[in-house]
Amino acid sequence: MAGVTKYTYLKELVDPKIRTEIEGLPFSSEGHKHAKNILTRKYGQTSEVVNAYVENIMSLPTIGGTLPTRIHDFYEKLLFNVQSLETMGKLREVNGYVHILYSQTARDERGSCANR
């Protein structure tokens, strides 16, 4: 994924108060690198960053139907978060964590449906 695209997603996904800290950077791959450095220095606890990517993945909406634009949007957001985790060397670690959470959620849903 191009640095400009990563920068776009980064600006979209960070809290609006934090976004103001990187808003004036150039819209380029260099701007993305600089923004990443600023945010890493100030907020860069690896575990917090990993948790934020996992939360982004887990909060992606369920897509009903076959609307290509919604599917594409979902795919782009998922891809950004997965590639970010892969870049950090945390994808395998998180993959097991997400699988456990998904299994737990599916079990909880089956249980709540059976109790109705």
User: pLDDT for 59-114, tens place per residue?
Assistant: 888 887 788 898 889 889 988 998 999 888 888 888 776 666 666 555 555 554 55
Distances (CA, A) of 116 to 105, 110, 112, 113: 17, 10, 7, 5
- Domains contained in the chain, number: 1
**What's the domain range around 12?**
3-114
Residues 102, 70 contacting (CB under 8 angstroms): no
**Would you state the pLDDT for residue 112?**
46
Q: Which two tokens stand for residue 70?
A: 């919604």
